[in-house]
Amino acid sequence: MAMLEQCLEKNRLYAAQFDRSKLAMPPSKKLAVVACMDARMTVEDFLGLRTGDAHIIRNAGGLVTDDALRSLVISCQLLGTREFFVIEHTDCGMLTFEEADVQAKLSRDTGADASGLKLYPFKDIHANLKAQLRKIRECPFIPADIPAHGLIFHVESGELEQVESI
């Protein structure tokens, strides 16, 4: 069975017992989380969250990109979130490559110019996490009184390490 067929079958089972239609649009814990898309991380599980508790924004590296900032602004300004977490993790793929090397490979493999494609790899997870928090704090559309916390998820143990709070 193709992956789509498997997922559609699982969805039919899910929909048959679906009970979340009455959840409010704003997150009940007033929390927004930016986290890496790594498949080993189930953010809701390791934070003890349930559906409806928080906005979860995921991308490669758990980076506060322009789009992640857009989501955080909407989350706090329109939907009432009052706290942010940025979660990166050990053994992240973003630590393993140089942007220029991947751009060159993509250009060779696809025939399209990839020189302008920004991938945002990093070499130091702690320094990168602090830089992501600074992006939040420097955004003029995010109130300064909303705390932002930088955390590292250790894929080896499941533990969270608090790096910085601003």
pLDDT tens figures, 135-159:
999 999 999 999 999 999 999 999 9
User: What is the residue-wise DSSP string for 122-155?
Assistant: -S-HHHHHHHHHHHHHH-TTS-TTS-EEEEEE-T
Each residue's pLDDT tens digit, 6-26? 999 999 999 999 999 999 999
pLDDT value of residue 51:
96
H/E stretch holding 165 reads strand 160-165
Please give the domain boundaries of the chain with CATH numbers for all domains. Answer: 25-94+122-165 (3.40.1050.10)
pLDDT value of residue 130:
98
Distance CA 73, CA 54 (A): 14
Residues in contact with 119: Cβ distance below 8 Å, sequence separation at least 6, in sequence order: 60, 97, 99, 102, 103
pLDDT greater than 80 at residue 122: yes
pLDDT greater than 90 at residue 1: no
Main-chain phi, psi angles of 32, to 5 degrees? -125, 140
Distance CA 160, CA 46 (A): 8
Distance CA 64, CA 80 (A): 19
Each residue's pLDDT tens digit, 13-72? 999 999 999 999 999 999 999 999 999 999 999 999 999 999 999 999 999 999 999 999
pLDDT value of residue 4:
97
3-state helix, strand, coil in the chain (%, to 5): 35, 20, 45
pLDDT value of residue 48:
98
pLDDT value of residue 145:
98
pLDDT value of residue 104:
98
